[in-house]
Amino acid sequence: MAGENTVRLRPPANRLDRRAVTWWRVQCLLTAAVPVGVLVVLAAFIEPAGRWLLVAAGALAVLGLAGTAFFPAWWYRVHRWEVTDEAVYVRTGALWQEWRIAPMSRIQTVDTMRGPLEQAFRLATVTVTTASARGEIRIQGLDHETAADLAEQLTRITQATPGDAT
In tens, the pLDDT along 125-148 reads 999 998 877 889 999 999 999 999
- With respect to residue 5, please indicate whether it lies within any of the assigned structural domains: no
pTM (predicted TM-score): 0.82
The reply to whether 51 falls in a domain is yes
pLDDT of residue 14: 96
Same domain, 91 and 70: no
Domain boundary among the residues 76, 103, 124 is at: 76
The number of distinct structural domains making up the chain is: 2
Nearest one of 120, 126, 51, 130 to 87, comparing CA atoms: 130
Q: In tens digits, what is the pLDDT along the chain, a chain of 166 residues?
A: 455 555 567 789 999 999 999 999 999 999 999 999 999 999 888 878 778 999 999 999 999 999 999 999 999 999 999 999 888 999 998 788 889 998 888 899 999 999 999 999 999 999 999 887 788 999 999 999 999 999 999 999 988 777 665 5
Q: Quick one: 90 and 45 in the same domain?
A: no
Query: Can you give the pLDDT at residue 118?
Result: 96
pLDDT at 4: 57
- Asked if residue 86 is part of any domain, the answer here is yes
Report yes or no on 13 lying in a domain. no
63 with 91, same domain: the answer is no
Predicted pLDDT at 5: 55
Could you say which of 29, 52, 76 is where a domain stops?
76
- Say how far apart CA 1 and CA 134 lie, in whole Å: 31
Please tell me the predicted confidence (pLDDT) of residue 159: 84
| Residue 61 and residue 101 share a domain | no
Instruction: List the domain range (segments joined by +) for residue 50.
Output: 19-76
Q: Same domain for 89 and 70?
A: no
